[in-house]
Chain A
Amino acid sequence: MRQKFLVRNTNNHEMIELKNISKIYKKGNETFTALKDVSFKIDKGDFYTVIGPSGAGKSTLLYVIGGLIHPNSGSVFYNGSDLYRQSWKELDRYRKNHLGFMFQQFYLMPYLTISDNIRLTSNKKQVETISYYLEKCSLSELKNKYPSELSVGEKQRTAFIRAIISEPEILLADEPTGNLDPGNSEILMSLINEYHKNNGTVVLVTHDPAMQKYSGKNITLEKGIMI
């Protein structure tokens, strides 16, 4: 039986709970364990940093939380409902209404201006909010430019606005500073931090231990196991 979203919330603060999540990839005869028995809870307003070397399963964990990778075993509960017992439609709605995504490669649409890239996740009523964030991220003058005309720092700040413009409950960031120089990393992290301070929940995947200074809670993964 599929459960409807938001039907029960056992705890006002508890937002996401991962229980014994395992994910194994198979390629031919070879198998690769990306996650093994991972369990933890994310409360509203948490800022988690997931740290680990390459291949530790950090991104898999992020996408499992994001409803994009079905685990082989275990459950992910969002507000008490088992995420992977929902329909595809419900999962789409979950991502659209509750999550914001950021990636290392920005993934801006090359044929849309900065404004239009941000509008991918916003609605018509958010014109003022877009202007506010553009101003805040020093992108106001670039709003009609295309991604190819921006620096990497500007691209990632655009991607940040796109991720948070619809005011999601959780921001899932996959190595957002991976392509940035220290200066731009600092600017971006201060923006993410501000989002967190305004009651936003953040799960940030990084291989840079220095990022832990922004978060309240840390998870370290090694070969898919929480240590």
Chain B
Amino acid sequence: MNPLRLVIKELLYRKVSSLVILLTVIIASTVSVAVYSLSKASEDETRKIMREQGLNLYIFPKGTDLIDFYSVNSTSVFPDKYVDDLAESKTFDAVRHLTGILQLKYPDWIDPNGSSHQIVLIGYKDEAMQRYLPEQELMGTDVPQGTVQVGALIAKNITEGVPFTITGKDGKLYSFKIDKRLEEGKGVIDQGVAFNLEDLQKILGMEGKINKIEALGCVCKDGRIKNARNQVQSIFPDLEVTELSSIADARENQRLMMNKYGAFIIPFVIITCLLITGFLIYQNITARKFEIGLLRALGNSTNSILFMILAKAFIIGLAGAIIGFFTGTLVSEYFGKEIFRFTALNIKPAWHLFYYSLIIFPLLWMLSSWVPALIASKMDAAKILGEEY
């Protein structure tokens, strides 16, 4: 008789024992998949929160005094080509959404009513596409050439349909169509105007110059700022990186905490389930000692006994991995909705995990059955089957 058929028949006959072993695989697999999926969702959530917070890493010329940057109108500048160079770098992957910016105060802007104001002018270079990183949705401010976006406080002084006008360093009057009138509460831009970088460079006579790069720090193992700082300074030693700390830090800490828990919970649950399985398989072979003795007497080799025990563990491991994967995904989807704001509906089955589970769990369960299988294969058939010596 085909040994595999024998294994399946035995498995179906001892339903309770088989189901309990199956349950251990399902628990281990469910916990692993759920914790992993939730941990991934937490990572995505952190990323999305960080995106919502806006760009959080500022790259300045080295030695820039940040107090001066926001209050005095004479900060160091550097070539806007630096942004393209960083985007072209193979080793620069700690930040995304590189946006070159020229930000200066304009002390005497005359509004259409003839009043003078000190306003902030911000020129945005188009967000750089990083050549060696996967494409991403644009995040930086995109201002088409010839247009401006005016902050809420300035917009109050300009009637709808009237263009924005400003006198350039060359004394000429420049006029721009207002593309967007920004809402209040956007920070420094409330009292400022956003330009396309080239337009602002022309107004200020600072062609090819910027004084800041804004970017989004990655969700890195060793922290956003440290990684980004090392990478930027290895390419441009004359630049430095400053982080705008935010709520994302708290989320990231939460994510790291979750990863730590995952690193403990997954092995703990798997090892516990493996030990239980080892014990159950041992009990199973003890209960089946007469069958094993008989099979040995009928000429079945130790290898075929080993095969039968391990095949059983493999089949249960495989079935448990499949069930556990879907249960784990359902669990993570259910709890994910409760926990996460942005990624709640984006928790999808991690199919790569499914394929790993199909390999890992059957192998682990075979491993846990190895000692009982060895014991079974070494059983003394004569001792078991003989009633007297």
Contact = CB atoms under 8 A, between A and B. Distances in A.
Given A63-B386, A116-B1, A97 B299 contact: yes
Interface string B1-44: 10000100110111000000000000000000000000000000
A107 B300 contact: no
Interface residues of A, number: 38
Contact of A110 (B1, B13, B299): B13
Contacts of B135: none
Nearest to B293: A107
Interface in B295-318: 295-302
A62 B389 CA distance: 10
A55 B298 contact: no
Interface in B346-389: 380-382, 385-389
B291 interface: yes
A84 interface: no
Contact of A59 (B9, B290, B302, B386): B386
A54 B387 CA distance: 9
A105 interface: yes
B295 to A, nearest CB: 8
Given A68-B296, A107-B291, A60 B12 contact: no
Interface string A79-118: 0000000001100111111010101110101111000100
Nearest to A98: B299
Interface string A38-75: 00000000000000001101111011001011000000
A93 B389 contact: no
B299 A120 contact: no
A61 B227 CA distance: 77
A25 interface: yes
B265 interface: no
B389 A59 contact: yes
Contacts of A32: 389
A96 B386 contact: no
B299 A96 contact: yes
A35 to B, nearest CB: 9
Interface of A: 25, 32, 34, 54-55, 57-60, 62-63, 66, 68-69, 88-89, 92-97, 99, 101, 103-105, 107, 109-112, 116, 119-121, 174-175
14 contacts: A32-B389, A57-B389, A60-B389, A62-B386, A66-B297, A68-B382, A68-B385, A88-B302, A95-B299, A99-B299, A101-B385, A109-B9, A112-B9, A174-B386
- A-B complex: 3 closest residue pairs judged by Cβ atoms: A96-B299, A111-B13, A95-B299
